[in-house]
Structure 1
Amino acid sequence: MSLREITENVKLAREYALLGNYSSACVLYRGVLEQIQKYVSAVRDSGSQQRWQQVWQEISEENQQVQDIMSTLENFQLDTSSVKPSNYDDFEKRPVHVEQRHSPCPVRRSSNLYKESKPANNHLSGAGRAQQRHAPRGANGDRSKPSKGKEKKEPKETKEAAGKAKDDKNKKSDVQEKEMKKFDGTGYDKDLVEALERDIISQNPNVKWDDIADLEDAKKLLKEAVVLPMWMPAFFKGIRRPWKGVLMVGPPGTGKTLLAKAVATECRTTFFNVSSSTLTSKYRGESEKLVRVLFEMARFYAPTTIFIDEIDSMCSRRGTSEEHEASRRVKAELLVQMDGVGGASENDDPSKMVMVLAATNFPWDIDEALRRRLEKRIYIPLPSTKGRVELLRINLKELELANDVDLDKIAEQMEGYSGADITNVCRDASLMAMRRRIEGLTPEEIRNISRDEMHMPTTMEDFETALRKVSKSVSASDLEKYEKWIEEFGSC
């Protein structure tokens, strides 16, 4: 179910309600409510589900308002059908059907009708206007004097509808605000702004905290740095202000980038995924402008997390003989901007913070000034024995295993393997049964193999074979370098 289809149906239902075609509007409203229910059932994010449930509730209330208007009109018809005024004509003899309502006078469509129509994620403010516009005339043709039976009921309904419309207009969820907010690039190069907007992760990476095995300390720190300031803004002020920079250090394949994806999924902040190519330009002076625009946009879309992967490629140590002048200017601008982002003042609002989340495999190459600005420096180690068992379970949750597979024994044999290495072992083992099945077959015979024949369980022997083929990628000397650096500069 596409969001565009839901949007169009909501707009059409509201337009029918404004024009007085209440029956068609109700049909469309019921269809929209069913579409939203189907869409919510396919959404995995609990926060998105809650916001869509709120939208469903508000559209349901709009539908109820339109039904109330229809009920009022039907009751009014019954009250006035037996009364024949002295000046009635042939037009008034016609039976009036709510399904095909015709106004006694031509309907005047306002020139700004479509301007008044809101997008689907805004709320109908026209139900009250539609009721006033199509209020039935009295027996003498005077619209302002309804029948005595409805003298008290209709003004009350109109007042409630107007109050509801006013509340709906002022009520906006976080998703709606983000969709409506648009960075004003006036004064900046349009191409630079568009290039950075492409790096905003609008699609959900769909990586949950539970998808990451072990690394409890790192997850706890990231929650404290990003999530808790959103939940307890009054607490995270002054000396307790949120961390404005977190550096993740560790061997390749230990889950640093995966943690950043979990932050983007779970924390519901605007997430910029920045690499060296994003902030590099062949034109003189443009790279520094990109850095400045990046942080201006981050402050505009706050709360924001800027993730810089492989930050050592951008901010290596200054003053070396190989350093280029342009590279030095970019580093200087990045350092200046990081020193001015959220958390620098005691009066800063935590909901407007900007946090820089960086990852590197070469922490000893990072500039000292940048290291100081990245206040929290955490070590992402190789997985422990318990973590390796969890990683095996996560990687093999969709795979059929034979009864002889012992995950604890496999985890013991993977001492020194990184998370990426363990994933590679699982992938290689999962292909072993297929390799045995197609061995010696011709291409035609391989194409004729049924799908059921290919679904064979993975055995313990498959894992042992894969372990012999896949070696660990991190050496003991590398681990010593990481542990020595984190012992000297770490800040957990």
Structure 2
Amino acid sequence: MPLQFPHLFTGNRRPWKRILLYGPPGTGKSRLALALSSAITSTFYSISSANLLSSWVGESEKSIKELFQHACKNKSKSVIFIDEIDSLCRKRNVQEEEHTRRFKTELLKQMEGVGNTETKDNIFLLCATNCPWELDVAFLRRFQKRIYIPLPDKDARLQLFKIHTKNTCLDFSDEDWDSLAEKTHLYSGSDIANLTLGALFQPIRKMQSAKYWKILDGKYLPCESFHPQAIRTELKDLPAASVIPHQVTLEDFIKSMQTHSKTVSENDLKQFKDFTQRFGELG
């Protein structure tokens, strides 16, 4: 809206420029950042702790300062995305080394200026974390919005499965889709991607171990030994271009679940919900 209707965001009504995205791993926080950058046609700076932290004293503070200075010089809008911000901004303690304190002080200074000064008005700061409760309160306070990116619900999981299998031959009924979405409660977006890839390889694994084959439209497919057209042979003995796998079924996904389980627990979700009630809002 600020780009489409700039006259609505004048005076003290200024758009948020410092936003924290938090939630379980694999929920698409990094993809959201990239999508935002594309939507507003901006220069996108994607940064991680590895880019900023240096073993040389003073270099880390210099890196963060130069990053914001470079973004300021751009005439176009700039999005600075810092992933895994918790690795840079953990709660401070008395055992912290002096150069770490200086780095955090410099980062706080640069964050505070985003959206508050004319020189940094073209910068949008977006950060992401899987552990928001580990952030130092001073950093947490700098974010004008703290948005929870939750796990996909049942309908979203169903859509993700269909996206990941859109170019695949499937033998699925509506009941199969519903069952798959139901069985994958607590699966993140990346969990679903990994599970689907594992399921897509199940027909290939069956071909590798198959001892009996049938011919369908001139192609060889694995079959049971009792099939009336069963031919005893192995994959290595068949013409490479003449073999095809079975269509992917719900059974293949269930088999894949044995090695691709969910990575988020109910206890993890409770932590996120408790944090959201205190500091954030649902995205």
User: With structure 2 as the length reference, what TM-score do the two structures score?
Assistant: 0.84
CA distance in 2, matches of 1:260, 1:446: 50
Could you tell me the percent identity over the aligned residues?
41
The residue correspondences of 1:131-150 to structure 2 (distance < 5 A) are none
Provide the rounded CA distance (Å) in 1 between the counterparts of 2:130 and 2:112.
24
Per the TM alignment, residue 469 of structure 1 is displaced from its structure 2 partner at its CA by 3.3
What is the one-letter code of the residue matched to 1:468? Q
Q: Which of 477-486 and 438-447 deviates more? A: 438-447
What are the ranges of 5 or more consecutive residues in structure 2 without an aligned counterpart? Answer: 212-232
Partner of 2:123: 354
With a CA cutoff of 8 Å and minimum separation of 6, indicate the structure with the bigger relative contact order. Answer: 2
Which residue in 1 is equivalent to 2:63? 290
> Does the 8 Å CA contact 1:291/1:333 hold for their aligned counterparts?
yes
1:432 aligns with 2:222: no
Residue 251 of structure 1: how far off its partner (Å): 1.0
Partner of 1:470: 260
> Counterparts of 1:403 and 1:477 in 2: how far apart (Å)?
33
Q: In the alignment, residue 83 of structure 2 is paired with which amino acid?
A: D
Deviation at 1:444, TM superposition (A): 8.7
Partners of 2:238 and 2:99 in 1: CA distance: 56
Query: How far did residue 391 of structure 1 move?
Result: 0.9
- The offset of 1:455, in angstroms, is 5.1
2:179 is matched with which residue?
Answer: 409
Which position in structure 1 is the counterpart of 2:279? Answer: 489
Distance in 2, Cα, partners of 1:455 & 1:297: 53
Secondary structure of the residue aligned to 1:357 is strand
Q: What per-residue deviation string (whole Å, max 9, x for no partner) do you get for residues 350-404 of structure 1?
A: 9x52111111111111111111111110111111111111111111112111144
CA distance in 2, matches of 1:243, 1:462: 46
What are the residue-to-residue correspondences of 1:203-242 with 2, within 5 Å?
228-242=1-15
Backbone CA RMSD of aligned residues: 2.4
Query: Are 2:104 and 1:331 equivalent residues in the alignment?
Result: yes
Contact 1:401–1:459 (Cα < 8 Å) also in 2? yes
**CA distance in 2: counterparts of 1:340 and 1:378, whole angstroms:** 21
C-alpha deviation, 1:257, in angstroms: 1.5
| 8 Å contact kept, 1:233–1:349 | no
Q: Write out the 4+ residue segments of structure 1 that deviate beyond 3 Å after TM superposition.
A: 440-444
Structure 1: give runs of 5+ residues left out of the alignment.
1-227
- Map 1:26-425 to 2 at 5 A: 228-301=1-74, 302-321=76-95, 323-341=96-114, 343-344=115-116, 348=118, 352-404=121-173, 406-425=176-195
What amino acid is aligned across from residue 236 of structure 2 in structure 1?
Answer: E
Amino acid paired to 1:344: N
Deviations along 1:109-130, one digit per CA (max 9) or x if unpaired, are xxxxxxxxxxxxxxxxxxxxxx
Cα distance in 1 for residues equivalent to 2:141 and 2:251: 50
Structure 2 letter corresponding to 1:476: E
Deviations 1:157-186, CA, capped at 9 Å, x for gaps:
xxxxxxxxxxxxxxxxxxxxxxxxxxxxxx
Distance in 2 of aligned mates of 1:407 and 1:354: 43
How many residues end up aligned between the 2 structures? 259
Higher helix share: 1
CA distance in 1 between counterparts of 2:192 and 2:55 reads 40
Supply the distance in 2 between the matched residues of 1:331 and 1:394 (Cα, whole angstroms).
41
- Aligned counterparts of 1:414 and 1:373: Cα–Cα separation in 2: 36
Computing the radius of gyration from Cα coordinates, the structure with the larger value is 1
TM-score, length-normalised on structure 1? 0.49
C-alpha displacement of 1:241:
1.0
AA at the equivalent of 1:395:
H
Q: Secondary structure at the match of 1:378?
A: strand
Residue 300 to residue 435, structure 1, CA distance change in 2 (3 Å)? same
Q: Is the 8 A contact 1:315 1:367 kept in 2?
A: yes
